[in-house]
């Protein structure tokens, strides 16, 4: 099982950026994508556990065709800012410096810094004061921060059509927020998960239409941060060193 921190060097390798972390790219992803890409779309839903993927596999079927499915190991503590810091830096928490649910601006090297140094253009589309909106700030890149996931996804569609960025990062935290209130398997939470799956499917279809028809090689990832589990009272939580929180699903696809 690969660690989520392998996502950063995988993105860098596909975009022909020199290795900047001791984590290694995921060979299966590079093989799936042909090793290089002109564009990478990273869709980041929050808290999609491997056990959720297995139990509700039918929900994911619309986005599984031609996809590489990987069970990935998260990092501890399995909370959002810690995990996304590892996903985009390739570092363990002790090395990138976020070791609790705090959201300081990272000063370590990230895939965004490596891309900028290589003359490439990354962009982040996220919501409010969520982790991805906060911890990667203060870099010479574009940020689009909105109130709702629907606004984020609409902007991501626009950015795909404009075709000006090499890496587009899209964060949707609606499943995580809902499962905290109602529990991981509540109908409200599963509806939020359906929304995430549909959003990713729509964005990848648009990437195929725009980037594919332009003759560009692209890769897209459905890359989550940590899992979740039910606690007393029927609510959901995460942050523990247990399979439900540590094992997550990542999906990768490329041009048809």
**Taking 80 as the threshold, does the pLDDT of residue 50 lie above it?**
yes
* Residue 219 CA: distances (Å) to CA of 43, 63, 80: 11, 14, 24
pLDDT > 80? residue 188: yes
Residues spanned by the domain of 20: 2-254
Tell me whether strands 167-172 and 122-127 are parallel, antiparallel or unpaired. Answer: parallel
Kindly report the average pLDDT of the chain as a whole number. 97
Question: pLDDT (tens digit, 9 = 90+) per residue, 82-96?
Answer: 999 999 999 999 999
For residue 177, give both structure tokens.
């927020």
Look at the chain and report how many structural domains it folds into: 1
CATH number at residue 93: 3.40.720.10
- pTM strictly above 0.95: yes
Query: Nearest-CA neighbor of 63 among 221, 248, 228?
Result: 221
CA 183 and chain centroid, separation: 22
Could you report the per-residue pLDDT of 66-79, keeping only the tens digit for each? 999 999 999 999 99
With bands split at pLDDT 50, 70 and 90, how would you rate the model's confidence at 112?
A: very high
132-172 confidence digits (pLDDT tens): 999 999 999 999 999 999 999 999 999 999 999 999 999 99
């Amino acid at each position: 099982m690969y660690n989520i921190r392998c996502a950063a060097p995988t993105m860098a390798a596909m975009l022909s950026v020199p290795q900047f972390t001791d984590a290694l790219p995921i060979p299966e992803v590079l093989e799936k994508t042909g090793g290089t890409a002109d564009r990478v779309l990273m869709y980041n839903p929050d808290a999609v556990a491997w056990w959720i993927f297995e139990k509700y596999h039918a929900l994911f079927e619309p986005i599984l065709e031609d996809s590489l499915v990987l069970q990935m190991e998260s990092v501890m503590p399995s909370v959002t800012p810690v995990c996304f810091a590892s996903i985009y830096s390739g570092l363990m928490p002790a090395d990138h410096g976020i070791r609790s649910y705090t959201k300081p601006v990272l000063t370590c090297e990230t895939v965004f810094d490596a891309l900028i140094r290589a003359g490439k253009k990354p962009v982040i589309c996220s919501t409010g004061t969520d982790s991805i909106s906060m911890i990667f700030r203060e870099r010479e890149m574009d940020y689009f921060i909105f109130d709702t996931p629907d606004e984020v996804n609409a902007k991501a569609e626009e950015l795909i059509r404009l075709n000006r960025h090499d890496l587009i990062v899209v964060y949707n935290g609606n499943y995580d927020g809902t499962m905290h209130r109602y529990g991981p398997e509540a109908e409200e939470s599963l509806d939020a998960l359906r929304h995430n799956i549909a959003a990713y499917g729509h964005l990848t279809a648009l990437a195929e239409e725009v980037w594919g028809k332009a003759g560009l090689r692209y890769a897209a990832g459905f890359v989550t941060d940590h899992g979740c589990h039910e606690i007393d009272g029927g609510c959901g939580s995460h942050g523990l060193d247990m399979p439900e929180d540590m094992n997550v699903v990542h999906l990768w696809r490329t041009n048809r």
